[in-house]
Structure 1
Amino acid sequence: MATPVRSHRGGAGMPVELTTFVGRREDITAVKAALSGFRAVTLTGIGGVGKTRLAMRVATDLRRAFADGVSFIDLSAATDRAALDASVIEGLRIHDRSGREAVDIILDFLRERQMLLLLDNCEQIVGECASLIDTVMRRAPRVRILATSRERLWVTGECVWRVPSLPVPDPDFGVGSAQGSPAPVQYPALVLFGERAAAASGASVNREDWPDVARLCRRMDGLPLAIELAAIQTRVFSPGQLVQRYDERLGPMGTLDRTVPDRHRTLEAAIDWSYELCTPHERLLWSRASVFASRFGLDAAEGVCSGEGLPREEVLASLAGLVDKSILVPEEQLGELQYRLLQTLADYGRTRLRAAGAEETLVRRHRDWYLQQTEEMATQWWGPDQLDWSQWLRREYRNLRSAVEYCVTTPGEGQAGLRLTAALLPHWHAGAEASEGRLWLERALAADTEPTLARAMSLRSLASICASRADYAPAEAALRECHVVARDLHDPLMAARAHSAEAELAVNRADYATALASAEHALACPEYAEGPERAQVLSAVIVAHAMLGHYDEAVSAHEEAVRCSVEFGGRSDLVWALVGRAIAEFRVGDHQAVIRYAGECIRIARDYDNAIGLATSYLLLVRSLAAEGDFGRAAELLGARRRICKELGVPTLSEMESLLIEALGTQLEEELGGTSFEAAVARGYAFDLDAAIDYALGTEGDEPERSADAGTADAEPSPLTAREQQVAGLVARGLSNRKIAEELVISPRTVEGHVDHILTKLGFTSRAQIAAWAARQGG
């Protein structure tokens, strides 16, 4: 790592401020050097100066320096400490079932890790970010923080780097040159303008136009966002015309607020002009899209932003226009094209929306649309579109979180909050946000106490989350009230749902007889017993019978769960049905059956992002492989499970599980010998997630990919594994992730992971670049 730059230290608790800068590459070097000497580095500067871009570049360059990698955490939608903690847990992909405080979950995850956290857009919650960073620095000594903020965070030991604008030429650039204007390559601002202008207009900047480009970049104060917005206009204006128009617009800055610093006014003017060059429909969409907490798709844009001057049929054309003008950034997320406003442009749009008196209307419309979609998801959850809905929940979670926050903080919106929180159980129960889900449920239940169906459903959801996290007292209290509300509403289906949650609670408490009794009460309701929701209670029945040694009953219940899945189409609850069947097979000594059922469980858990189910399946595999005498593979999978639990933040769920893992390790070490055992565990631990899954399923084919920090004996000619080269070839053929998954007989989620790895390894940002690379490789 580079030698630390010179700096000066302030008083006690004061950050160190770096002030020297000699260019973009030197800026990268300086920040990397600062991270070698300081635990926390904050990049500050106005919006549009390139803080995020610089942080991402530094993090990319340093990713191999941190054994546990780099995590990017976007805080643009966080407005309080709870949302901050939730964003960090989401960004770190922590799957925790303990029900502890969020900060304790984060610290336990980070305590032994060596990693870099990139916290982007801290300015909205500076105090909360400073508190969290200070705690992490004290409790996780091998973690370093790289933050971006429009103001410093005032953390003890913080190093502040003020991100400067891009260097621009002197006023006499090109003057007196006998052979025309000199080359602009030594000026990053001119290079940026040239690249963006070529992308926008399809033509390179003419040599004689570079002096005008230089004047324009100086007028833009070297601000990257302002330069990019100006470059887009080369489709309509020449650089000389742009200079004239910006001079006319800015003049002596008389039309702008003189209390604002020059660079702020420059950027404001650049964004203003970009806004005015938009069509009326594009302006409306820009301002209205600012209510989205994160990315959004076409259907969300149509549902939230159309109406009152923006017809629904014009939304797609307006999206395309804003993408062409670089206002919106298109990004593929889990198989769907979505759009994102840069934070500075989102802030501008929100200001326009507020000035028009439409902010409250659009925020409520945003909530209404996501409430409608979520309730539709809840009614269709057990159907054939379940996996698509699961991906929708993951794509839209930040917007859903924003909608819930609106409900619990706005007077009179309590019932809507209960409806929304109750419907989100499928996401919270299996995902990383369970602790956050519990918080939102408790806040929604406190905000409105009317005994409605929405309240009963939220109580059932809260009980289910608490039960799965071994917090039994609040689960019992929630179920008692749930039964009271169901009785008062004369709703037998709701009562059956509560009995189902009781069965789940009893299984988690290892009270299997009570679990079977509660399940029997649930299935006594014909509407429940004949509907798709019975899949939930059947999983509890299978596990309870298996643990009690009732093999035939467990098999029968498992077959019923499979029939339910086939009849209605949902597969997520089969994860625990398969776990129960595997336990039953283990207890009768059929280890090949255990391996088969655990493998199917891994496939489904991967598709639904169920980290707890994934870790449980690996434990079942290790036990049966050890029982079969395949000690080497068992040790490798034990190592792979350790890596999965560490990467996904899966905790040890009980003392019984901890003792089982310890006993397996002892057995395998005795069988293999200490050296061979440690080597096998290390081989398994070196697998990345996709390779670990391929290896567990026996579909790895070629040597699985190892993590960057694991090291390899021999370097491959291509940076890609054989499977990644195969995926790259199919990308070059124009296949979507879903089509590639069908071609290779793997899940779309695995394909997505392969594509992400390819982009990272090759340093690319688009599928088109992958296709071009594959073509050059002859594939």
Structure 2
Amino acid sequence: MTNVIPEAGNLPVTFTSFVGRRRETAEIRRLLDTGRLLTLTGAGGAGKTRLALEVAAMSWNAFADGVWLVDLAPVHNPEAVAATAAAALGVPDSGVRPVVEQVAGYLARRQVMLVLDNCEHLIEACADLATALLSAAPGLRILATSRHTLSVTGEHVFSVPPLCPEDAVKLLRDRGTAIQPAFRITDANRHWAARLCADLDRMPLAIELAASRLRVLSMEQVAVRLEDRFALLTGGSRTAPVRHRTLRGVIDWSWDLCTPAERLLWNRLSVFAGGFSLDAAEEVCVGDGIAASEVLDLLDGLVTQSVVLTTESEGLPRYWLLESIRQYGWERLAESGEAESLQLRHRDFFLALAERVDSHWNGADQVGSLSRLRVEHANLLAALDLDADPQGRLALVAALRFHWCKGGFLTEGRRQFDRAFEVAPEPTPARSRALLVAAWLALIQGDMGTAGRWLAEADALGRQLAEPAVNAVVRGLRGLSAYYLGHVDQAIPLYEEAVAALTALGIENEAAYYLLALAIARSRGGHPDAAETCRQVLAAAEVKGERSGRAQMLLRRGVDAWTRGDREEARTLNRAALESVRGFNDYATTALLLELLAWINASAGDHHRAALLLGSAGALWRDAGTGVNAFGPDMAGHHARCEAEVVRALGPARHDKTLAEGSGRDTPARAIAYALETGTQQAPPPPAAMHTLTRRERQVAALVAKGMTNPQIAKELVLSPRTADRHVENILTKLGYNRRLQIATWWAAHEVPTS
């Protein structure tokens, strides 16, 4: 349900206005200023999520590294809470350390607000996560929503009240006008509006559901019919809280007023976790009362009635149900006896999606494919939780290999393979394929022992089941193992055997992966056929529009060009690789490309820019949980020599300051944007330029160099936001710059005094 903006956060796009709650938003922001963990509590339907998202959106400028939503509603396993937070933040998962440690390390140097939404069914896991992250990250604020408190030290609690009478009527008017443009609250119906809102306990969700009836009923009719409905409820449970009974009554009424086909779709949509797309609904929810051609109209009807909500995620239209609505539909679905068959349809849809991505990986839509799988992560995990078909689970976990390895979910992938192998030990083709993918994950994580055991089992299964393709891939992966261990001469013949065998079997896509690996190994090993193999790989990538492998190939060629002294060729290849890897959120490849660009700049005498690039690469390595040394002694040696040269040229103090400045570009998106700058920017003004700045302007420039936003600068120096804005504009004008980054670079280079 999120539209990811990597540099700003991932708050969802909202299509309805936020009404009222001025006192509540002011108080919540005050509490967040004084404490670092605030939990909004209240009954289901009280508006906790919407209030939290509104406060988060209002706070965006105060957090330099963004405001991020972690939706926990679709998460049922407490062990997955930290991984869900990591996925929301885009933390690179190296799979080497526990996920919570990776997230804590990632946030340790960042200024972030984290919204943990729907914590009530995972209280202990959320409490543990909040404690670990807040202990590690001084710049972190957590805003949680839950029906219960987290009960951890330092937690502030805000109980979300019902809307005040005035705001409740405003919400009813707003939603009524959206559904029926001619709708008005007048002197004639104002009494009924107030009465209706009071009967609904002024609960936002209940009011929104009731407002959907104003399309066909008058205000009085809606109020009277709801009163009749609540009268019937008095025969039900008297132990349930009043607001719970009120909400249940409104949802019951909404369900009763739907057509039979709309009810059926509502029930079936509850099988989705974390939202769904139109094509998923049209595939999973059809049959036995719903034709595929009817889904769109039925869905539109449920949207009109506020049962289904709309948003965007990764630029794609998406639908979702509030958790109270989804749980209601799931109860109805379970009563109907359709739950298991719908879960199987759900699993089959996402297995088909994963297999399409897998089979077309070498094409032009790699970034789009990863985005789609990332959006569907909660649904993928739900599909993998299906116990009815262990062989299907093996097939799905293997088909998701690029989601695990390229999408940044190594730890989750390993966990899913362990579960799948445990419940499906039979020697089947699905197990042999899963063993191959699991071994790949283990190799990436550096777990050579486990990878070796899985490859041995896969090799034996391939022979037992007469699957020569399995044995060919085993050879290729053993080549990868040798390469990672630094035995390039052993890797090359294994890659050659894999390519030959897979090509002979007509499995061209799989052969392409090992041809790429062979080209890189031959290039690194100085093989006489290296240039021709690289040319072959790049030609195929150009034809297909493939980008991930192309970036790796260009990187290797760039290193070779730089090593033989062809600086301009190396720069051209590096730039092409950066363009190719853009959008992948690939920390390691981006860091390697920044390393190469730093070496190129240092050898050209631009030591300041080289230091900035090394600082950025260092930040990426830190968050990726690895370093340049992991990529062989030749890369480590180039790095060491470059850094020593930069220190000599700049001096230790200036080197350290510039490195720290560069480390602010700590995501692939930021790093690539900087690296792709043409290098023709204005030279920094000389130190004498400091004398054109006032003392206050020098103080502001120093805070800009620390990465502070204008609102943060205003707070630090006790200025109005408008005054801080004016100071920054004056600095830009006096220095002849047009970007804040240029101020920071100049200040760091010249160690400008602030007094």
TM-score (norm 2): 0.83
Aligned to 1:323: 303
CA distance in 1, matches of 2:369, 2:137: 37
C-alpha displacement of 1:221: 0.6
Q: Tell me: CA distance 1:678–1:233, structure 2 relative to 1, closer, same or farther (3 Å).
A: farther
Q: Is the 8 A contact 2:104 2:136 kept in 1?
A: yes
Aligned to 1:300: 280
Partner-residue secondary structure (3-state), 2:158: strand
Partner-residue secondary structure (3-state), 2:59: helix
Q: Is the 8 A contact 1:470 1:509 kept in 2?
A: no
Partner-residue secondary structure (3-state), 2:482: helix
Q: Tell me: CA distance 1:507–1:628, structure 2 relative to 1, closer, same or farther (3 Å).
A: farther
Query: What is the 5 A alignment of 1:639-658?
Result: 639-642=615-618, 651-652=626-627, 654=629
Q: Tell me: CA distance 1:594–1:700, structure 2 relative to 1, closer, same or farther (3 Å).
A: closer
TM-score (norm 1): 0.80
Q: Residue type of the partner of 2:415?
A: L
CA distance in 2, matches of 1:67, 1:52: 23
- Provide, for residues 179-204 of structure 1, a one-character-per-residue CA deviation record: whole Å limited to 9, x for no partner: xxxxxxxx221221221111111235
Partner-residue secondary structure (3-state), 1:339: strand
- Provide, for residues 98-133 of structure 1, a one-character-per-residue CA deviation record: whole Å limited to 9, x for no partner: 433223323332344443321111112222222322
Q: Residue type of the partner of 1:636?
A: L
Partner-residue secondary structure (3-state), 1:47: coil
Q: Tell me: CA distance 1:110–1:467, structure 2 relative to 1, closer, same or farther (3 Å).
A: same
Segments of 5+ residues of structure 2 without an aligned counterpart are 1-19, 683-703, 711-724, 731-736, 740-755
C-alpha displacement of 1:279: 2.1
Q: Quick one: which of 312, 322, 327 aligns to 1:347?
A: 327
Q: Residue type of the partner of 1:339?
A: Y
C-alpha displacement of 1:86: 1.9
Residue identity over aligned pairs, in percent, reads: 35
Q: Tell me: CA distance 1:707–1:59, structure 2 relative to 1, closer, same or farther (3 Å).
A: farther
Aligned to 1:183: none
C-alpha displacement of 1:265: 1.1
Query: What is the 5 A alignment of 1:510-589?
Result: 510-525=486-501, 526-527=503-504, 531-550=508-527, 553-566=529-542, 568-589=544-565
Aligned to 1:233: 213
Q: Tell me: CA distance 1:665–1:221, structure 2 relative to 1, closer, same or farther (3 Å).
A: farther
1:78 aligns with 2:75: yes
Q: Tell me: CA distance 1:140–1:119, structure 2 relative to 1, closer, same or farther (3 Å).
A: same
Aligned to 2:713: none
Segments of 5+ residues of structure 1 without an aligned counterpart are 1-22, 169-186, 724-779
Aligned to 2:385: 405
Q: Quick one: which of 633, 637, 645 aligns to 1:667?
A: 645
- Provide, for residues 640-661 of structure 1, a one-character-per-residue CA deviation record: whole Å limited to 9, x for no partner: 4455567x75643646677865
CA distance in 1, matches of 2:626, 2:112: 19
- Provide, for residues 538-568 of structure 1, a one-character-per-residue CA deviation record: whole Å limited to 9, x for no partner: 2322332233234x53322211112332455
Q: Tell me: CA distance 1:133–1:662, structure 2 relative to 1, closer, same or farther (3 Å).
A: farther
Query: What is the 5 A alignment of 1:47-62?
Result: 47-62=44-59
Greater alpha carbon shift after TM alignment, 28-37 vs 651-660: 651-660
C-alpha displacement of 1:316: 1.0
Query: What is the 5 A alignment of 1:230-269?
Result: 230-251=210-231, 253-269=233-249
CA distance in 2, matches of 1:658, 1:189: 64
C-alpha displacement of 1:422: 0.9
Aligned to 1:619: 595
Q: Residue type of the partner of 1:58?
A: V
CA distance in 1, matches of 2:641, 2:246: 66
Aligned to 2:414: 438
Q: Residue type of the partner of 1:223?
A: M
Aligned to 2:673: 694
Partner-residue secondary structure (3-state), 2:162: coil
RMSD between superposed Cα atoms in Å: 3.1
Query: What is the 5 A alignment of 1:193-212?
Result: 193-208=172-187, 209-212=189-192
Aligned to 2:16: none
- Provide, for residues 678-727 of structure 1, a one-character-per-residue CA deviation record: whole Å limited to 9, x for no partner: 66556645558655433322369999x999735686449xxxx999xxxx
Q: Is the 8 A contact 1:331 1:337 kept in 2?
A: yes
Aligned to 1:709: 708
Greater alpha carbon shift after TM alignment, 532-541 vs 691-700: 691-700
Q: Residue type of the partner of 2:613?
A: L
1:191 aligns with 2:202: no
CA distance in 1, matches of 2:218, 2:636: 69
CA distance in 1, matches of 2:474, 2:139: 45
- Provide, for residues 492-546 of structure 1, a one-character-per-residue CA deviation record: whole Å limited to 9, x for no partner: 2221212222222222222211111210221231336871222221232233223
Aligned to 1:130: 127
Partner-residue secondary structure (3-state), 2:164: coil
Q: Residue type of the partner of 2:234?
A: G
Partner-residue secondary structure (3-state), 2:509: coil
Q: Is the 8 A contact 1:496 1:528 kept in 2?
A: no
Greater alpha carbon shift after TM alignment, 129-138 vs 415-424: 129-138
Q: Residue type of the partner of 2:211?
A: A
Query: What is the 5 A alignment of 1:472-491?
Result: 472-491=448-467
Partner-residue secondary structure (3-state), 1:43: strand
1:115 aligns with 2:94: no
C-alpha displacement of 1:569: 4.9
Q: Is the 8 A contact 1:384 1:570 kept in 2?
A: yes
CA distance in 2, matches of 1:276, 1:673: 76
Q: Is the 8 A contact 2:76 2:122 kept in 1?
A: yes
Q: What is the number of equivalent residue pairs in this alignment?
A: 674
Partner-residue secondary structure (3-state), 1:573: helix
Aligned to 2:254: 274
Q: Quick one: which of 144, 159, 172 aligns to 1:147?
A: 144
C-alpha displacement of 1:674: 5.3
- Provide, for residues 377-410 of structure 1, a one-character-per-residue CA deviation record: whole Å limited to 9, x for no partner: 323333455454333222222211211122xxx2
Q: Tell me: CA distance 1:457–1:596, structure 2 relative to 1, closer, same or farther (3 Å).
A: farther
Q: Residue type of the partner of 1:360?
A: E
CA distance in 2, matches of 1:661, 1:219: 70
C-alpha displacement of 1:293: 0.9
Q: Tell me: CA distance 1:592–1:446, structure 2 relative to 1, closer, same or farther (3 Å).
A: farther
1:96 aligns with 2:96: no
Q: Is the 8 A contact 2:370 2:407 kept in 1?
A: no
Partner-residue secondary structure (3-state), 1:524: helix
CA distance in 1, matches of 2:681, 2:205: 45
Query: What is the 5 A alignment of 1:386-405?
Result: 386-405=366-385
Partner-residue secondary structure (3-state), 2:446: coil
